């Protein structure tokens, strides 16, 4: 939900119609503090690996192990991969190219061009990069509960290479670009600026 949509919903949450309840589903961090303060948070435990594998099999997913290793306990993402298996290849290409940027083996504007070549998928690609960078930060802190389980080895290398401050700066740049993309910023200029920002941080 965009910031504008949340702000529009705020008045309704403050004075809801009689006998009305709203159910907002998502990560708490996805909602503005003003929205969260007017809600009762109910934490739903993610499914276990076995439960998620069963769910994927019921959806007819063929490569359940690959999906689980790409999505971790993120049920929504795992189901999205099950419904559209081509997204797994898109994920691999996006994160491989992002690894090259992090390793300074790829010119930033090459990655930028890849991100804006398909405006429909740009938001998804940014989400993948945020999740991946978040996992690198978690690796640096010694955590093992990752979304991108299949990339543990390279994430540990990045975690040893970059300080937490550098990793946080990259996450902030990616999140800012994602917000601006949602506000209809010029995608080419946005992605060029994003990748130049990341290359400066590195």
- pLDDT tens-digit profile of 142-192? 988 889 999 999 999 999 999 999 999 999 999 999 999 989 899 999 999
Please determine, for residue 1, whether its predicted confidence score (pLDDT) is greater than 80.
Answer: no
pTM: 0.78
Instruction: Tell me how far the alpha carbon of residue 15 is from its chain's centroid.
Output: 33
Q: Which residue do the tokens 């309840």 mark?
A: 21
d(CA 145, CA 159): 15
């Amino acid at each position: 939900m965009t910031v504008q949509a949340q702000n529009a919903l705020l008045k309704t949450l403050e004075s809801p119609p009689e006998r009305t309840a709203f159910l907002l589903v998502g990560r708490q961090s996805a909602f503005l503090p003003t929205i969260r303060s007017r809600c009762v948070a109910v934490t739903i435990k993610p499914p276990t690996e076995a439960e998620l594998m069963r769910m994927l099999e019921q959806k007819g997913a063929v490569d359940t192990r690959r999906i689980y290793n790409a999505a971790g306990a993120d049920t929504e993402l795992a189901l999205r991969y099950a419904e559209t298996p081509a997204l797994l290849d898109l994920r691999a290409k996006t994160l491989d190219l992002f690894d090259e940027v992090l390793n300074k083996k790829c010119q930033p504007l090459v990655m930028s061009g890849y991100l804006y070549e398909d405006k429909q998928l740009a938001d998804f690609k940014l989400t993948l990069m945020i999740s991946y960078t978040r996992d690198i930060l978690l690796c640096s802190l010694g955590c093992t509960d990752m979304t991108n389980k299949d990339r543990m080895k390279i994430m540990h290398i990045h975690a040893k290479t970059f300080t937490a401050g550098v990793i946080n700066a990259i996450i902030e740049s990616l999140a800012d670009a994602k917000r601006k993309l949602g506000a209809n910023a010029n995608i080419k200029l946005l992605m060029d600026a994003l990748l130049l920002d990341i290359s400066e941080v590195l």
